[in-house]
Amino acid sequence: MTILPIRIYGEPVLHEVAEPVGEITDEIRQLVADMYETMDLAPGVGLAAPQVGVNKRIFTYSWEDEEGTKYRGVAIDPELWISSAEPESLEDLDEDEEEGCLSVPGERFPLRRAEDALLRARDIDGNPYEIEASGWFARILQHEFDHLNGVLYVDRLGLTFWKQAFKVMRKKGWNAPGNSWLPGVDNLEG
């Protein structure tokens, strides 16, 4: 397996709608294996194919809840339905609603997400499956699904936090093509 470079905000593939996978080939299976390894080393709870420069509708996820239940899988050509999010107010966002992203490494900002989500996708063998998620796991699924539509979480921030995020990205020289980092080599998370 190979650790893949993770693209940073501004790389064009991150801002495009990803294309359907269709047939699951050996090349797709290898990509998914590499994505798992990259996500685990980063470390992250999810990784979408556009984040590693591949414009395909695939994401991996790996998360363990407080009760020790593990959620780990791949979503190929997913569909996602969400409940309505509570109206966003800067006053009532708390740190449980902060998100980070491997394509905006080391930064975290509060973002209101829907509490519940329903994911329908195919697994690595092409078998369809469905997951009902709530809380943090629903947030992960929404975050990764957004990547497949060319949307990063910082694009959804309220104006105050959006300004802060883009100020940081300008200072770091991001928001332009050609920036990436390699988990296990570059230390951009801290």
Active-site annotation, residues: 144
Query: Could you give the residue ranges of the DSSP H alpha helices within 16-172?
Result: 26-41, 135-148, 159-172
Annotated binding residue at 15? no
Name the one residue in this structure whose structure tokens are 């998360």.
63
Give every CB contact of residue 75 below 8 A, 6+ residues apart in sequence: 58, 59, 60, 61, 119, 121, 122, 141, 144, 145
Annotated binding residue at 76? no
Give every CB contact of residue 173 below 8 A, 6+ residues apart in sequence: 179
Annotated binding residue at 143? yes
* Residues tagged in the binding site annotation for Fe cation: 101, 143, 147
